[in-house]
Amino acid sequence: MDTIWQYSIRTLLGFIVLLLLTRILGKKQLSQMTFFTYITGIALGNIAGEMVVNKEIKVVAGITAMTIWALLTIMIEQLSLKSPMIRVLLDGEPAIVIKKGSAATCSRAFVSSNRAYCRWQNRKKEFKGTAIKSRVA
């Protein structure tokens, strides 16, 4: 019975700290999340989960680790606001989809969901006017 109370208290403390830290880090919609913020959320959840499940990790150590991780995240986000080089390193280069009022060509727009479609369009342009031989296996 003693372990049930220990796990309950650890879970409650982990949940409260995780909730507070995510509030401090800021609310973001899934579409607004960068790869960096996504990884940060996963890491914080992993630290909280380890703190709850692993009895060898003290609660204070887990809370300290989550707090340090959140502070590092805030510092890196502030640096990325100030430095374009760090922003590109963390978030990558933006893909230009619309340029001067018209859609960019497929060869320039590297949007991940449209990458296969763009390759298909480019191949279609290459083979236009030529006979395509099909292989039968």
Please state the rounded mean pLDDT for residues 48-69. 90
pLDDT of residue 120: 57
Global pTM reads 0.61
Give residue for tokens 């220990």: 6
What lies within 8 Å, CB to CB, of 40 at 6+ separation is 25, 69, 73
pLDDT of residue 37: 81
Asked whether 57 and 79 are in contact (CB, 8 A), the reply is: no
Instruction: With beta carbons less than 8 A apart as the criterion, state whether 47 and 69 touch.
Output: yes
pLDDT greater than 50 at residue 44? yes
Does residue 46 carry a pLDDT above 90?
yes
